[in-house]
Structure 1
Amino acid sequence: MTARRPIVVGTDGSSSSLQAVAWAAQAAALRRCPLSVIATTFVAGAYGVPIGMPTSFFEDEERNGKNRLAAAAEAATRAVPGYSLDIHTTLCTGTPAGELLERSNTAAMIVVGSSRRGIVERGFLGSVSSAVAAHARCPVAVVRSIPDTDVTQLEGSVVVGVDGSAHSEPAISMAFEEAALRQCELVAVHAWSDIDLPVHFEGGSVSGWKQIVTQETALLSESLAGRAEDFPDVKVRTMVVMDRPVRNLREQADNARLLVVGSRGRGGFTSMLLGSTSRALMHSVRCPLLIVR
């Protein structure tokens, strides 16, 4: 656990972002670390007030930004009753994604809200969550707005996706930490239908399938080895399934309080920096999604 590095969360004043703020406050309280809340606003440029806008445009924007921060600080305080949370608020002038990414160099975690309807409200939702998840230098939690549901009250297990590669190892370590902090069960899921089958697999024979299952179960056990000793109080349940990772992890997330995945993004294009599985889950799961690059 990284001591005293802050958890950073962005707010635009929407209900989605306030849910993210509340979740981030609880995460900060669990870690005994500060919470940094940021909002963005326009600043006067070389061309002055935009055409058609009142002369008080920038003053109004600054006042609204400060009001958004005050509302977020209040939401954060309500989320951790009885705990004196160290909250810092900052009104920024850069782009939302740029401000969050800059802070990812020194943050323990970045938290962003994402509307279930996919509406981009003042820039902290939708595409910004994708950009931050792809480029941040620390873990990123994406908190979706769920109708009639308070994400801070979700119960259930912490679920982690395991693919057996080095890319999932940081996610496994953080999933154990999250389960220990929340004092809940950890469900480790390994879905193997989209990986290369062994060359000696013979046309779907029973013995062939059993051998594959045995190999994939051993792979999962090897991936989890050592963590149980570091977190002896965390109960671990393993699942090895012949299924597509996105579909199976989405199903497990329906009854989870947190889903943790790694990122296997490859290639030189910005859109490919986030792996296809984590990118698909980010826009479909109901519980908070923690992406560990």
Structure 2
Amino acid sequence: MPSHSQSLPSDSPHRTAAAAVVVGTDGSDGSVTAVRWAARLAADRDRALHIVHCTDPIADRTPRSAYDAFIYATMQDIRLAAEHMLATAREDALAVAPSLTVTTELAPGNPARTLIDASAHAHLVVLGAAASAGALAHLGSTLLAVTSHAHGAVVIVRGPEPDRRSGPVVVGVDGSSVGEPAVGAAFAEASLRAAELVAVHAWSDLTQGQFGGTSYLEMPIDDFAVAEEALLAERLAGWTEQFPDVVVRREIDVYGPRERLAHWSKTAQLLVVGSRGRGGFRGLLLGSTSNWLVQHADCPVMVVHHD
């Protein structure tokens, strides 16, 4: 049976039956796609959908001067526009899942903090990726903060076919204990989706190149391959017992986890990664591989936090 460290906790987002799917919206094309994606997932899992948008708290203050009155009137217009945005997002959600229970929240204050707080009780938090320009794509400040500091799991909806229902669930396995929650979440997702699970592991976080003037492909790596195969098997063993319905494919590479995972994202329906690298330092926002994938992957990316 799985060890205690390989058991999904009772308050895990995948085990809390009443937890809603939370999605943030700002009216952008990316957030519209995220709302629709979140609505389909919530409907598939018989959960409610909670749509959140934030405004500056000044809109709720009483004006005390002519300048305050001007600012107040402006913020009231912004508030009305935000309420219209939420109503439109609700319509978008119901258009793809008519029987879905949908609630909306117009919250004052910082959107990142609001979504991070909401993540503590959510099944998962969903955000849309900003329109990208290939290698010039960057994370917005809210997306980066939520992806880095949320509780449980955050999904960044991206790619040309975000609603792809075929293809495997793919998880990056770094072999560390801090990566266990990502592996567990990937198994749970594969089980829920009746999909194959591809476990990708690379013993080096570096990209293809040279080390000490010698190409990786010219290094004596046979011993590494045997050791890493054993490590991957050990990391997956308990989970395969807990999810016997999930068919697992293992892939081990010498280097380049981001390249391999990016390649898989072209056909996967979901990519799952941990929130930190194999070192697990709490001071780091995101592991380099996770950070790169949420900006460049061709399918939705789930970032799973250690808590």
Question: Would you say same fold, with TM above 0.5?
Answer: yes
User: Aligned to 1:9, what secondary structure does the other structure show?
Assistant: strand
Question: What percentage of aligned pairs have identical amino acids?
Answer: 42
C-alpha displacement of 1:37 = 0.5
Task: Tell me if structure 2 keeps the 8 A contact 1:19–1:150.
Answer: no
Q: Which runs of 5+ in 2 are unaligned?
A: 1-14, 134-138, 207-214
Aligned ranges for residues 95-110 of structure 1 at < 5 Å? 95-110=110-125
Matched, 1:22 2:36: yes
In the aligned structure 2, how far is the partner of 1:160 from the partner of 1:205?
Answer: 24
Task: Tell me if structure 2 keeps the 8 A contact 1:49–1:55.
Answer: no
In the aligned structure 1, how far is the partner of 2:120 from the partner of 2:65?
Answer: 33
Task: Tell me if structure 2 keeps the 8 A contact 1:49–1:58.
Answer: no
In the aligned structure 2, how far is the partner of 1:180 from the partner of 1:268?
Answer: 30
Give the corresponding residue for 2:204.
Answer: 193
C-alpha displacement of 1:50 = 6.7
* Higher mean displacement: 54-63 or 228-237: 54-63
The alignment of Structure 1 onto Structure 2 pairs a total of residues equal to 273
Over 3 Å counting, the alpha-carbon distance change for 1:99 and 1:206 in structure 2 is closer
Deviations 1:120-177 (A, max 9, x none): xxxxx71211100111112111112x4xx44123531110000111111111111011
Task: Tell me if structure 2 keeps the 8 A contact 1:186–1:235.
Answer: yes
Give the corresponding residue for 1:279.
Answer: 291
Q: Which runs of 5+ in 1 are unaligned?
A: 119-124, 196-202
In the aligned structure 2, how far is the partner of 1:268 from the partner of 1:4?
Answer: 30
Alignment counterpart, residue 67 of structure 1, candidates 84, 97, 122: 84
Give the corresponding residue for 2:180.
Answer: 169
User: Aligned to 2:293, what secondary structure does the other structure show?
Assistant: helix
Letter in 1 for 2:54: T
CA RMSD of aligned residues (A): 2.7
Task: Tell me if structure 1 keeps the 8 A contact 2:161–2:299.
Answer: no
Aligned ranges for residues 135-284 of structure 1 at < 5 Å? 135-144=149-158, 146=159, 149-153=160-164, 155-194=166-205, 208-264=220-276, 267=281, 269=283, 272-284=284-296
C-alpha displacement of 1:185 = 1.0
In the aligned structure 1, how far is the partner of 2:252 from the partner of 2:165?
Answer: 25
C-alpha displacement of 1:59 = 2.8
User: Aligned to 2:125, what secondary structure does the other structure show?
Assistant: strand
Give the corresponding residue for 1:85.
Answer: 100
In the aligned structure 1, how far is the partner of 2:95 from the partner of 2:17?
Answer: 23
Aligned ranges for residues 121-132 of structure 1 at < 5 Å? 126-132=140-146
Letter in 1 for 2:119: S
Task: Tell me if structure 2 keeps the 8 A contact 1:39–1:96.
Answer: yes
Deviations 1:44-89 (A, max 9, x none): 34677879968742332222111111111122122335xx222111
In the aligned structure 2, how far is the partner of 1:126 from the partner of 1:141?
Answer: 15
C-alpha displacement of 1:267 = 5.0
Matched, 1:13 2:27: yes
Over 3 Å counting, the alpha-carbon distance change for 1:206 and 1:284 in structure 2 is closer
Letter in 2 for 1:240: I
Over 3 Å counting, the alpha-carbon distance change for 1:211 and 1:289 in structure 2 is same
User: Aligned to 2:100, what secondary structure does the other structure show?
Assistant: coil
Over 3 Å counting, the alpha-carbon distance change for 1:63 and 1:278 in structure 2 is same
Give the corresponding residue for 2:211.
Answer: none
In the aligned structure 2, how far is the partner of 1:212 from the partner of 1:238?
Answer: 16
